[in-house]
Structure 1
Protein backbone atom coordinates (compact mmCIF):
# COMPACT_ATOMS: atom_id res chain seq x y z
CA UNK A 1 0.00 0.00 0.00
CA UNK A 2 2.23 2.75 -1.22
CA UNK A 3 1.35 6.15 0.20
CA UNK A 4 -0.96 4.73 2.86
CA UNK A 5 -0.84 6.01 6.39
CA UNK A 6 -2.00 4.13 9.46
CA UNK A 7 -2.91 5.95 12.61
CA UNK A 8 -3.05 3.97 15.82
CA UNK A 9 -5.78 5.12 18.14
CA UNK A 10 -5.52 3.97 21.74
CA UNK A 11 -8.48 1.97 22.96
CA UNK A 12 -7.56 1.88 26.65
CA UNK A 13 -5.51 4.34 28.70
CA UNK A 14 -5.15 2.82 32.17
CA UNK A 15 -3.29 4.48 35.02
CA UNK A 16 -2.38 4.38 38.68
CA UNK A 17 -0.86 6.96 40.97
CA UNK A 18 0.33 7.37 44.53
CA UNK A 19 0.91 10.89 45.82
CA UNK A 20 1.93 12.06 49.27
CA UNK A 21 0.23 15.18 50.63
CA UNK A 22 0.23 16.92 53.99
CA UNK A 23 -3.00 15.05 54.76
CA UNK A 24 -1.73 11.58 53.84
CA UNK A 25 -1.23 9.50 50.72
CA UNK A 26 -3.67 9.63 47.81
CA UNK A 27 -3.87 6.43 45.77
CA UNK A 28 -6.02 5.88 42.69
CA UNK A 29 -6.16 3.58 39.69
CA UNK A 30 -8.40 3.30 36.66
CA UNK A 31 -9.12 0.31 34.41
CA UNK A 32 -10.09 2.43 31.38
CA UNK A 33 -12.91 0.16 30.27
CA UNK A 34 -11.00 -3.10 30.73
CA UNK A 35 -12.59 -5.76 32.95
CA UNK A 36 -12.54 -4.66 36.60
CA UNK A 37 -9.15 -5.06 38.27
CA UNK A 38 -7.24 -6.08 35.13
CA UNK A 39 -5.53 -2.80 34.17
CA UNK A 40 -5.19 -0.08 36.80
CA UNK A 41 -4.92 -2.45 39.74
CA UNK A 42 -1.84 -4.37 38.51
CA UNK A 43 -0.17 -1.05 37.71
CA UNK A 44 -0.97 0.20 41.21
CA UNK A 45 0.20 -3.04 42.85
CA UNK A 46 3.63 -2.58 41.27
CA UNK A 47 3.85 1.05 42.43
CA UNK A 48 2.74 0.18 45.96
CA UNK A 49 4.84 -2.98 46.16
CA UNK A 50 7.98 -0.97 45.47
CA UNK A 51 6.94 1.79 47.90
CA UNK A 52 7.08 4.44 45.19
CA UNK A 53 5.66 7.83 46.10
CA UNK A 54 4.67 10.85 43.99
CA UNK A 55 4.40 8.71 40.89
CA UNK A 56 1.94 8.33 38.03
CA UNK A 57 2.15 5.41 35.62
CA UNK A 58 0.04 5.33 32.45
CA UNK A 59 -0.24 2.30 30.17
CA UNK A 60 -1.83 2.65 26.73
CA UNK A 61 -3.25 -0.40 24.93
CA UNK A 62 -4.21 -0.61 21.28
CA UNK A 63 -6.65 -3.28 20.18
CA UNK A 64 -5.52 -5.89 17.75
CA UNK A 65 -3.91 -9.28 17.84
CA UNK A 66 -5.06 -12.11 20.06
CA UNK A 67 -7.61 -11.93 22.88
CA UNK A 68 -5.77 -11.87 26.19
CA UNK A 69 -8.49 -12.70 28.71
CA UNK A 70 -8.53 -11.36 32.26
CA UNK A 71 -5.30 -13.09 33.33
CA UNK A 72 -3.47 -12.01 30.20
CA UNK A 73 -4.62 -8.41 30.59
CA UNK A 74 -3.51 -8.36 34.22
CA UNK A 75 -0.06 -9.67 33.29
CA UNK A 76 0.25 -7.36 30.29
CA UNK A 77 -0.59 -4.19 32.24
CA UNK A 78 1.48 -5.24 35.27
CA UNK A 79 4.54 -6.19 33.19
CA UNK A 80 4.33 -3.01 31.14
CA UNK A 81 4.23 -0.91 34.32
CA UNK A 82 7.14 -2.93 35.71
CA UNK A 83 9.23 -2.35 32.59
CA UNK A 84 8.43 1.38 32.42
CA UNK A 85 9.27 1.96 36.07
CA UNK A 86 12.39 -0.20 35.81
CA UNK A 87 13.70 2.06 33.03
CA UNK A 88 12.66 5.33 34.70
CA UNK A 89 15.04 7.56 36.63
CA UNK A 90 13.75 7.37 40.17
CA UNK A 91 14.84 9.87 42.80
CA UNK A 92 14.73 9.16 46.50
CA UNK A 93 11.73 10.78 48.18
CA UNK A 94 12.92 13.20 50.85
CA UNK A 95 10.33 14.73 53.17
CA UNK A 96 11.04 18.46 53.50
CA UNK A 97 10.23 20.83 56.35
CA UNK A 98 9.85 24.61 56.15
CA UNK A 99 10.99 26.76 59.04
CA UNK A 100 10.90 30.46 59.75
CA UNK A 101 14.18 31.80 61.16
CA UNK A 102 14.75 35.28 62.62
CA UNK A 103 18.34 36.49 63.10
CA UNK A 104 20.53 39.58 63.08
CA UNK A 105 21.93 40.62 59.73
CA UNK A 106 25.51 40.10 60.99
CA UNK A 107 24.78 36.34 61.35
CA UNK A 108 23.26 35.88 57.88
CA UNK A 109 26.42 34.80 56.03
CA UNK A 110 27.35 32.26 58.71
CA UNK A 111 23.77 30.96 58.78
CA UNK A 112 23.68 30.52 54.98
CA UNK A 113 27.00 28.64 55.08
CA UNK A 114 25.77 26.27 57.80
CA UNK A 115 22.37 25.79 56.18
CA UNK A 116 24.12 24.29 53.14
CA UNK A 117 25.61 21.61 55.40
CA UNK A 118 22.03 20.47 56.04
CA UNK A 119 21.22 20.53 52.30
CA UNK A 120 18.84 23.34 53.14
CA UNK A 121 17.71 26.19 50.92
CA UNK A 122 16.36 29.65 51.56
CA UNK A 123 12.87 30.09 50.16
CA UNK A 124 12.47 33.76 51.06
CA UNK A 125 14.26 36.64 52.85
CA UNK A 126 12.81 39.69 54.58
CA UNK A 127 15.15 42.41 55.82
CA UNK A 128 12.72 44.50 57.91
CA UNK A 129 14.65 45.22 61.15
CA UNK A 130 16.03 41.74 61.64
CA UNK A 131 16.40 39.15 58.92
CA UNK A 132 13.48 36.75 58.62
CA UNK A 133 14.10 33.70 56.48
CA UNK A 134 11.89 30.88 55.33
CA UNK A 135 14.15 27.86 54.91
CA UNK A 136 13.55 24.34 53.67
CA UNK A 137 15.54 21.28 54.67
CA UNK A 138 15.08 17.52 55.02
CA UNK A 139 12.62 16.69 57.80
CA UNK A 140 15.07 14.12 59.20
CA UNK A 141 17.64 16.88 59.89
CA UNK A 142 15.40 19.42 61.63
CA UNK A 143 16.26 18.42 65.23
CA UNK A 144 20.00 18.49 64.52
CA UNK A 145 19.60 21.80 62.68
CA UNK A 146 17.82 23.36 65.68
CA UNK A 147 20.64 22.24 68.01
CA UNK A 148 23.25 23.96 65.83
CA UNK A 149 21.42 27.28 66.01
CA UNK A 150 20.51 27.81 69.68
CA UNK A 151 19.30 31.27 70.59
CA UNK A 152 17.84 31.92 67.15
CA UNK A 153 14.11 32.28 66.87
CA UNK A 154 13.03 29.31 64.78
CA UNK A 155 9.43 28.28 64.20
Structure 2
Protein backbone atom coordinates (compact mmCIF):
# COMPACT_ATOMS: atom_id res chain seq x y z
CA UNK A 1 0.00 0.00 0.00
CA UNK A 2 1.42 3.40 -0.91
CA UNK A 3 1.58 6.12 1.68
CA UNK A 4 -0.28 9.35 0.92
CA UNK A 5 1.74 12.29 -0.32
CA UNK A 6 2.34 14.76 2.51
CA UNK A 7 4.42 17.96 2.58
CA UNK A 8 6.89 16.32 4.98
CA UNK A 9 7.70 13.41 2.60
CA UNK A 10 10.58 13.48 0.06
CA UNK A 11 8.09 12.57 -2.68
CA UNK A 12 6.41 15.95 -2.14
CA UNK A 13 9.68 17.74 -2.85
CA UNK A 14 9.96 15.78 -6.12
CA UNK A 15 6.54 17.15 -7.07
CA UNK A 16 7.67 20.69 -6.18
CA UNK A 17 10.77 20.28 -8.38
CA UNK A 18 8.78 18.72 -11.24
CA UNK A 19 6.35 21.64 -11.23
CA UNK A 20 9.34 23.99 -11.30
CA UNK A 21 10.81 22.21 -14.33
CA UNK A 22 7.42 22.52 -16.06
CA UNK A 23 7.35 26.25 -15.25
CA UNK A 24 10.88 26.71 -16.53
CA UNK A 25 10.08 24.95 -19.80
CA UNK A 26 6.85 26.88 -20.34
CA UNK A 27 7.86 30.37 -19.22
CA UNK A 28 11.59 30.86 -19.89
CA UNK A 29 10.77 31.94 -23.44
CA UNK A 30 8.67 34.80 -22.09
CA UNK A 31 11.59 36.32 -20.17
CA UNK A 32 13.06 38.49 -22.95
CA UNK A 33 11.50 40.53 -25.77
CA UNK A 34 13.41 38.47 -28.37
CA UNK A 35 12.40 35.06 -27.08
CA UNK A 36 8.85 36.27 -26.42
CA UNK A 37 8.52 37.19 -30.10
CA UNK A 38 9.43 33.60 -31.01
CA UNK A 39 7.11 32.06 -28.38
CA UNK A 40 4.25 34.38 -29.36
CA UNK A 41 4.62 33.42 -33.02
CA UNK A 42 4.77 29.69 -32.19
CA UNK A 43 1.72 29.82 -29.89
CA UNK A 44 -0.25 31.90 -32.37
CA UNK A 45 0.57 29.50 -35.22
CA UNK A 46 -0.30 26.50 -33.04
CA UNK A 47 -3.60 28.10 -32.05
CA UNK A 48 -4.48 28.69 -35.70
CA UNK A 49 -3.41 25.16 -36.71
CA UNK A 50 -5.55 23.60 -33.95
CA UNK A 51 -8.53 25.84 -34.69
CA UNK A 52 -8.22 27.58 -31.31
CA UNK A 53 -7.55 31.01 -32.76
CA UNK A 54 -4.43 33.13 -33.09
CA UNK A 55 -3.04 35.35 -30.35
CA UNK A 56 -3.57 39.09 -30.61
CA UNK A 57 -0.66 40.92 -32.22
CA UNK A 58 2.02 41.72 -29.64
CA UNK A 59 2.56 45.29 -28.57
CA UNK A 60 5.05 46.96 -26.23
CA UNK A 61 2.76 46.78 -23.18
CA UNK A 62 1.90 43.11 -23.69
CA UNK A 63 5.56 42.30 -24.26
CA UNK A 64 6.57 44.10 -21.07
CA UNK A 65 4.11 42.11 -18.94
CA UNK A 66 5.04 38.85 -20.66
CA UNK A 67 8.72 39.60 -19.92
CA UNK A 68 7.98 40.47 -16.28
CA UNK A 69 5.98 37.27 -15.80
CA UNK A 70 8.58 35.18 -17.61
CA UNK A 71 11.44 36.65 -15.57
CA UNK A 72 9.76 36.19 -12.19
CA UNK A 73 8.50 32.68 -12.91
CA UNK A 74 11.91 31.63 -14.27
CA UNK A 75 13.65 32.81 -11.08
CA UNK A 76 10.93 31.20 -8.91
CA UNK A 77 11.36 27.94 -10.83
CA UNK A 78 15.13 28.05 -10.38
CA UNK A 79 14.70 28.45 -6.62
CA UNK A 80 12.38 25.44 -6.44
CA UNK A 81 14.72 23.32 -8.56
CA UNK A 82 17.84 24.22 -6.61
CA UNK A 83 16.34 24.29 -3.11
CA UNK A 84 12.87 22.77 -2.97
CA UNK A 85 11.14 23.14 0.38
CA UNK A 86 7.64 22.15 1.45
CA UNK A 87 6.79 25.83 1.90
CA UNK A 88 7.66 26.43 -1.76
CA UNK A 89 5.07 23.83 -2.76
CA UNK A 90 2.41 25.49 -0.63
CA UNK A 91 3.19 28.94 -2.01
CA UNK A 92 3.41 27.67 -5.58
CA UNK A 93 0.05 25.95 -5.16
CA UNK A 94 -1.48 29.21 -3.96
CA UNK A 95 0.09 31.07 -6.90
CA UNK A 96 -1.40 28.49 -9.25
CA UNK A 97 -4.87 29.14 -7.82
CA UNK A 98 -4.34 32.82 -8.65
CA UNK A 99 -2.91 32.12 -12.12
CA UNK A 100 -5.79 29.72 -12.84
CA UNK A 101 -8.33 32.31 -11.73
CA UNK A 102 -6.92 34.93 -14.09
CA UNK A 103 -6.65 32.47 -16.97
CA UNK A 104 -10.29 31.47 -16.48
CA UNK A 105 -11.25 35.15 -16.32
CA UNK A 106 -9.37 35.82 -19.56
CA UNK A 107 -11.02 32.85 -21.28
CA UNK A 108 -14.45 34.03 -20.11
CA UNK A 109 -13.68 37.40 -21.68
CA UNK A 110 -12.60 36.17 -25.09
CA UNK A 111 -8.97 35.11 -24.74
CA UNK A 112 -7.83 32.68 -27.44
CA UNK A 113 -8.71 29.08 -26.60
CA UNK A 114 -5.03 28.07 -26.86
CA UNK A 115 -5.02 29.07 -23.17
CA UNK A 116 -7.13 26.00 -22.20
CA UNK A 117 -4.27 23.45 -22.09
CA UNK A 118 -2.23 25.84 -19.93
CA UNK A 119 -5.18 26.38 -17.58
CA UNK A 120 -5.70 22.61 -17.29
CA UNK A 121 -2.05 22.03 -16.35
CA UNK A 122 -2.04 24.99 -13.96
CA UNK A 123 -5.04 23.54 -12.11
CA UNK A 124 -3.47 20.06 -12.04
CA UNK A 125 -0.16 21.33 -10.58
CA UNK A 126 -2.08 23.40 -8.03
CA UNK A 127 -4.13 20.43 -6.88
CA UNK A 128 -1.09 18.15 -6.64
CA UNK A 129 0.78 20.69 -4.51
CA UNK A 130 -2.10 21.87 -2.31
CA UNK A 131 -3.95 18.61 -1.66
CA UNK A 132 -1.25 17.21 0.67
CA UNK A 133 -1.52 20.37 2.78
CA UNK A 134 -5.30 20.04 2.94
CA UNK A 135 -5.07 16.33 3.84
CA UNK A 136 -2.81 17.05 6.77
CA UNK A 137 -5.15 19.81 7.86
CA UNK A 138 -2.05 21.89 8.40
CA UNK A 139 -1.33 24.97 6.35
CA UNK A 140 -0.22 27.00 9.33
CA UNK A 141 3.31 27.70 10.54
CA UNK A 142 5.92 25.81 8.59
CA UNK A 143 9.47 24.77 9.38
CA UNK A 144 11.08 25.99 6.15
CA UNK A 145 13.43 23.01 6.08
CA UNK A 146 11.14 20.10 6.84
CA UNK A 147 7.44 20.87 6.59
CA UNK A 148 4.71 21.59 9.10
CA UNK A 149 5.93 22.53 12.56
CA UNK A 150 5.65 19.52 14.82
CA UNK A 151 5.86 17.07 11.93
CA UNK A 152 6.76 13.53 12.88
CA UNK A 153 10.42 13.08 13.58
CA UNK A 154 11.00 16.70 14.57
Instruction: Give me the TM-score of the superposition, normalised by structure 2.
Output: 0.22
Q: Which has the higher helix share?
A: 2
Q: Which has the higher strand share?
A: 1
Larger RCO: 1 or 2 (CA < 8 Å, sep 6+) = 2
Instruction: Give me the TM-score of the superposition, normalised by structure 1.
Output: 0.22
